[in-house]
Amino acid sequence: MSSAILSLGPTQIEKVKGEINNRVILITGGTGSFGSHLMRTLLTDFNPAKVVVFSRDELKQSVLRDELYSSPEKQFGRTSQNMDQILRFFLGDVRDFDRLMEAFSGVDVIIHASALKQVPALEYNPFEAIKTNVMGANNVIRAAVGCGVKKMIALSTDKAAAPVNLYGATKLCQDKLMVAANHMYQKTRIGVVRYGNVFASRGSVVPVFLKQAQLGTVTITDERMTRFTISLAEGVSFSLNCLSALKGGEIFIPKLASYRITTVANVFAKKYGASVTTVGIRPGEKLHEVMVPRDEALNTVEFSEYFVIMPAFESFKFHRQALLAEGATLCKHGFEYESSGNDNFISEDGIVAQLSEICR
């Protein structure tokens, strides 16, 4: 499943070090799955001047702090005193612009991972999603520009490509805001990272199937369903690589493996002797994931390990020449990057191997 862009090799690490070392890094949504893994990566592989967690849940911050301070010498090769110097925890909400201005003061790089993302909950509470994912993202942009932040990467989702649910629609709005900010402000360079489901993350099918299989019946919504897959470590590595490649206004999309939902369901059903039943597609759910829609193909270039959707603004035409000079090729009219059309599907053995690695 992995490719060069998804793992930090020596060359990539040196480039990322130039962006991270001796800089102040802030992570919105820093207590989530992505944010906490990114924290550990920064503390282990890099030497930031400071790492700031910005989130609204004091309990999660307390739990994360305890985990990071548990044997820091063994985890990160750092003393508790050094951890005190590097780590900062800010309580706050991206809906609160004034608090963002306080938190972003003196920050060099922002990784924006804060979002409401549970699809069924957001279908029932639509404006709450808009407040956080759209208005909150705009607050983050304005505060970053106002505080002189040099670079920002915002996490997106495959659901932002041709969205059919409110979550995807709000993330599409976020992406548009992030891209347009480069044209509007021209002070802070901002890019977007878009990828599919993080395998076995909270809210994914893996913990659901595990629980269902132990009870005797695994439910799938449609036998034809496919999904892209990426591990948490690969998502973090890809995001850091994109930070070092960022010129401003790009949407970065990794090339990933796909899986059939029946493949994952069968793995759990066989392990626990459970049955598999089909219950029908839920509201807001797609049969297949799309990460580069056909309508965006003309603005998309392809590298060997990833795609880049370029800004459509006339003032950003230099992106095309710069990326082509780096070895990219233009995608053809009508191209679409979709999970069912992938030439790399994971087998049941591959799913088992991924689960074993996660458990390890």
Total of domains in the chain:
1
Question: Of 147, 109, 47, whose CA–CA distance to 242 is shortest?
Answer: 109
Say if 91 falls within a structural domain: yes
Question: Of 31, 34, 340, 351, whose CA–CA distance to 210 is shortest?
Answer: 351
Give me the domain span that covers residue 102. Answer: 4-196+233-255+295-336
Q: Which residues of 329-338 are buried (b: 16+ CB within 10 A; e: fewer)?
A: ebbeeebbbb
User: Of 17, 117, 159, 286, which one is the catalytic site residue?
Assistant: 159
| Summary mean pLDDT of the chain | 92
Res 312: pLDDT: 80
Supply the CATH number for residue 248's domain.
Answer: 3.40.50.720
Tokens standing for 347? 């087998």
- Tens digits of per-residue pLDDT, 87-109? 999 999 999 999 999 999 999 99
**Length reported for the chain:** 360
Q: For residues 342 and 292, what is the distance between their CA atoms, to the nearest angstrom?
A: 13
- Tens digits of per-residue pLDDT, 314-343? 767 777 788 888 899 999 989 999 999 999
Say if 344 falls within a structural domain: no
* Sheet of 251-254, strand order: 87-91, 50-55, 24-28, 109-112, 151-155, 189-193, 251-254, 306-309, 300-302, 329-330
Categorize the per-residue pLDDT at 13 as very low, low, confident or very high, splitting at 50, 70 and 90.
Answer: confident
Say if 283 falls within a structural domain: no
Say if 281 falls within a structural domain: no
DSSP reduced 3-state for 112:
strand
Share of the chain above pLDDT 70, in %: 97
**CA distances for 297 relative to 14, 207, 329, 335, angstroms:** 32, 34, 12, 6
Res 323: pLDDT: 85
Categorize the per-residue pLDDT at 4 as very low, low, confident or very high, splitting at 50, 70 and 90.
Answer: very low
74 is catalytic: no
Lowest average pLDDT, out of 16-20, 30-34, 233-237, 353-357, goes to 353-357
Say if 346 falls within a structural domain: no
Say if 145 falls within a structural domain: yes
Q: For residues 95 and 116, what is the distance between their CA atoms, to the nearest angstrom?
A: 12
